[in-house]
Amino acid sequence: MMDTILLLALNGLIWGLIIALIALGLSIIFGLLDIINVAHGDFFMVGTVLTWYVLQETGLFWPAFILVPVIGFVLGALIQRSIIQPIRNAAALSIVATFGLSLILQELVRMIFGATPRRILPPIQGTIPIFGIEYEIYRILAAALSVAALIAFFLFLQYTKIGTWMRAVRHDRETAIAMGIPAQRIFILTFGIGFALAAFGGVVAAPITTVDFRGGVDLLPFCFMAVIIGGLGNLPGTAAAAILLALLEGVIQSFADPTVARISSLVLMSAVLMLRPQGLFRGLAK
């Protein structure tokens, strides 16, 4: 029993780290652009599908870690410019627009890729013993890569000029413009980064999930829960909440149905909304 709990907790932790990457993109897009991006789960799905393509075309998995986020960034920038920019200042419209985008992405992938779910084998096979259980090496690598990407993202935000500008625009768009910050370019960049983070999550997750045109649908509510529990626009809080939620669901799944695990997350989110609507990790906000 303990082995099962440990295994599911570890799996949950690793999913939490991957979801943190995706939820961060969702949170930063919401924080800067006031956009509720219903298509964000599909950005992850596009990442998994592109990974599959890279593997098919090159026979190699590793180039996907560079190629897929770059393609994701470009797609994100194009989407911001063509779909999001024209409806700026209309938050309600953004839900409709990104819902439409979600359907377009899913159907495009279904047309090109097909409706059959596929699997990618982990590029590193084998297991190593951890706390008395044999654990897949790739999953540990996935956790390490996710942590590295999270750290890189926070360092970028904290220590680069563009990162500082992104934080400034998030605080006060108008004053930022009056200080010479090209806010429109920051919006494009932010959406691109959001897509790239989700796509990177897709690359990391591709060998441990199924590659499917509806692969982002289940993920989206989980990301939204992380954003809400972490505190709207609170990036470190979002990352922490994603890890907490996935860990919670992982542990609960060791003795209960996955539906019960998801209900537990929803109960936690409801409790946070009622008792601490500013988010569970307000102290992490910056």
Partner 1 sequence: MLSLKGVNVHIGKLHILQGVNLDVKEGESAALLGRNGVGKTTTLRAIMGLVAKSAGAIEFNGTDLATCQPHEIPRKGIGYVPQGRGIFPGLTVLENLCIGVTGKPDAQLEEYVFTCFPRLKERLKQQGSTLSGGEQQMLAIARCLMMRPKLIILDEPTEGIMPRLVSQIRREIHRINQTGISILLVEQNLETALKLCPRIFLMEKGTIVYSGAAQELKTQPEIVHRYLGLSM
- List interacting residues with partner 1 (CB under 8 A): 161, 164-165, 167-168, 170-172, 174-184, 285-286
CB of 217 to partner 1, least distance (A): 34
Q: Are 178 and 162 in contact (CB under 8 A)?
A: no
Residue reference for tokens 């509806």: 214
- Cβ nearer to partner 1, comparing 5 with 168: 168
Q: For partner 1, which is the closer residue by CB, 202 or 279?
A: 279
Rounded least distance, CB 61 to partner 1, Å: 39
Q: Which helix (H) or strand (E) holds 134?
A: strand 133-136
Contact partners, residue 131, CB within 8 Å, separation at least 6: 6
Least Å from the CB of residue 228 to partner 1: 20
Least spacing, CB of residue 283 vs partner 1, in Å: 13
Could you tell me which of 217, 52, 25, 169 has the C-alpha nearest to residue 118? 52
User: For residues 1 and 174, which CB has a smaller minimum distance to partner 1 in the complex?
Assistant: 174
C-alpha span between 99 and 112 (Å, rounded)? 20
Please, how many CA atoms are within 13 Å of residue 238, restricted to the half-sphere of its CB? 26
8 Å CB contact between 50 and 199 = yes
Work out how close the CB of 176 gets to partner 1 at its nearest, in angstroms, rounded to a whole number.
8
Minimum CB distance to partner 1 smaller for 55 or for 227: 227
Q: Which is nearer to partner 1, 126 or 180 (CB)?
A: 180
